Structure 1
């Protein structure tokens, strides 16, 4: 009886959401066979499935600890499914049965950007410069849509290379964009729960819980840096005194030697002009002051060369570095404030989000 009500509600609201029965999902995933598990994130595990018609899906099994009732869950899912953009992972539908809350998404063949760039040696993909540049622009477009064009105006809160998925043609799609909305406690820029990943979180959000779309801009800057360098911001330490790749980038910027960051695997097969543009934009996006970071629509225009790169207003000094290190320290000491942290294979505190082989707090 309860299920009939929810299906009826979905139809009545004319939402672009499909409904799947638990029997269908179990058949598709072989009863959630561990062999089909393709990721583990802050919101729950992700399984690959194959429906009876042969189409492949990704199923996220949401934690039963969700604070939302099923009715609110259905309404939110319906709204999120209406957000259609080529650079967002498509939500096919959901399943609500007993204690199970399941989301069904499109399956993307080439896994995550993190795996492609700095996964295990047998998992990495040979991404040429043109592909990297296209991926960077596509991620920026997806974020610009969420921030400025969609009905819901979503702040993602956990933008990172693991939450950028790649399809068969290596087009980038942002995952987990709706779960930030589902997990939202109140409609405000102040968040009482810090949800993000160490190394990608904007300092003002990590330290004070101050959340605006500019926190996503900061995280995008980190991802852009990783795309150019082929290195993980949190796992790569060129010298012992640098905690993050970002800090090394600041030093190279001061030395006017930013191109040293370009992935050596590219050899000379890249455009120095385009690489400098991406690196300059990456550092502009990670400005310590959120108000001085550009909007994502401006980032897209700058990446495409349609407008000049905004001049950096603030020079980063020791105080800025101290702010970042202090944020890292606070998060490391108080893991109770975390709802999502860095990858399991790095030496960071344990929280509710780990970088699985395909997806983190994403699908």
Structure 2
């Protein structure tokens, strides 16, 4: 079977059919030379959203609502658990996910409508639960910045997860939100190795840029933590303590980690990535993943899907807990956000 050549600047060169496709196509090498493009441009489609706040009841998540201004993510992280969501638009979780993006152009207006409803009860909203709110196209689209402007105007608390250094563009808004205890930022830091970052997260910010983002945010008074996610056996798990140490030195106040998750179409994409970049250790990596997932590549059960189970997962948890104590990271409760100040513009605040 024909194997696509690597696409420069992308996480995968493969574009498999999504799980809802009524038919499957297989490309065969007929022996004739064909010019294969070494780059792939980004296409941005516009969506008019009807609602923008997504609710969840997952016991694994520290929030019950989130906003994703974009579908798909140009960062191209090969491990991204959000890749299968592209199937709902009849797009591939492979190359389509990182090249055919959807921007919810009216996100800020819809958010304002939802926050203004009489029955709305305030609780922190997360930006970046599915795809990164500060991926490269945010520079032109500015949807995340407009959302933050609405949240600031309504005095609504927000948490942000990103691996994009573009977050510093909105330092003015974040500092103002922080002064009212309305924001907390988590910077995702997966590796300190630039070469590993290049193939694992091709269009995400460099490790040094993410550490600088932590430093600058903290200097501006913004509560900031580090998310070491995902931890991949025999790929980056040996860096866990170094990641935490570097983040702490940069000013991170809190920390968290997650084990690699490979739901649905992500598993075969990740397996091919291993064969492309780490063929000699691919079998070992997959074996350790299966040992941590009850013999499978993925376990969707609440309580174990984020951490895994078994000897390797337990050891990783112990290492993380020990590093947390040694480095004196704070818990989430120390960075609690204020929901009492929420007030739609023009509405009268409670006297007591």
Structure with larger RCO (C-alpha < 8 A, sep 6+): 1
Q: Considering the TM-score relative to the shorter chain, is it more than 0.5? A: no
TM-score, structure 2 length as denominator? 0.24
TM-score, structure 1 length as denominator? 0.24
